[in-house]
Amino acid sequence: MPHFTLDMLLPWEFSPLVLAACLGALFFYLRGWRRNRRDGHPGPGTWGLLGFLAGLLLIYGVMQTRFDYLAQHMLWIHRLQHLVLHHLGPFLIIMGGAHPAFASGLPVRLRDSVLFRNPPVRALYRLIQHPLVACILFVGLIAFWLIPEVHFTAMLSARRYQVMNWSMLIDGLLFWWLALEIRPVARGRTLGYGTRMLMLLAVVPPQIYIGAHIALADHSLYSVYNVCGRAWPIDPLVDQEIAGIITWIPAAMMSGLGLLVVLARWMHASVLPAPAGGDAAPAG
């Protein structure tokens, strides 16, 4: 097993898109965070800022350091990469108060004209942010990219590999936004706390099934790592077993953590008067 060196923090395959996206998100978040603090508006505090930075740093780390090389040559590292892109990173970003910060930090023209007043964008957003569709996409993407034949072609194609990683990241951001963000999600409507909890519960059993299927298989399912070689000398079934456990247990634990967050907010909202403007979510 190789020792850690500073070279491991350098990009394995440099992506201008990843760098631009991370720097852009950081710039507009900090811009909005400072504006909210200066003007006395409600927004993420210091802990929110730290959470956002941690999520963004984790996403950058798994996509633009030597970690990405390991993810291309070890199945369990690959599953750890997708756990960060699809679960942990987006969770920290949304919990870090991305909505109020970006609402203040993004240019008004971009925020309103392009994102909120563009009919095709709004129609697509309403579709993929329907709770049922969001759950299907969340679990379906995990299952799709883990189909052995699909996974084989994705790992041997630079373009498909990038599409796979970006699809997991974008879907993760959208799902956790829908599940955890308390402000209206479409046309002024607010998703109820009970619906959010049902969403978080619904995605658990399929992830457990997928992870158990991989971990308990008695033969190697992913021959692509035999073709491209493994970064460390490890038995293929051991590699696959660890990958299945990562897909099985930590992913389900993230849903449990999300449930605790939603439940805490529900209990908090039930003992406080609803603020003007209807930002508090209904119980149904």
Half-sphere exposure of 178 (CA within 13 A, CB side): 25
195 Cβ partners below 8 Å, 6+ apart? 131, 284
| Per-residue pLDDT tens over the stretch 192-231 | 899 999 999 999 999 999 999 999 999 999 999 988 888 8
Report the pLDDT value the prediction gives residue 279, as an integer from 0 to 100.
45
pLDDT per residue as tens, the chain (284 positions): 555 566 777 777 888 999 999 999 999 999 999 988 888 777 778 889 999 999 999 999 999 999 999 999 999 999 999 999 999 999 999 999 888 888 888 887 776 666 666 778 788 888 999 999 999 999 999 999 999 999 999 999 999 999 999 999 999 999 999 999 865 444 445 788 999 999 999 999 999 999 999 999 999 999 999 888 888 889 999 999 999 999 999 999 999 999 999 999 888 877 765 554 444 444 44
Render pLDDT for 241-283 as a digit per residue (tens, 0 to 9): 999 999 999 999 999 999 999 999 888 877 765 554 444 444 4
Domain spans, the chain = 11-271
Task: Evaluate if pTM is beyond 0.85.
Answer: yes
Q: Which of 276, 182, 208, 221 is nearest to 75 (CA)?
A: 221
In 10 A of CB 42, how many CB atoms?
Answer: 10
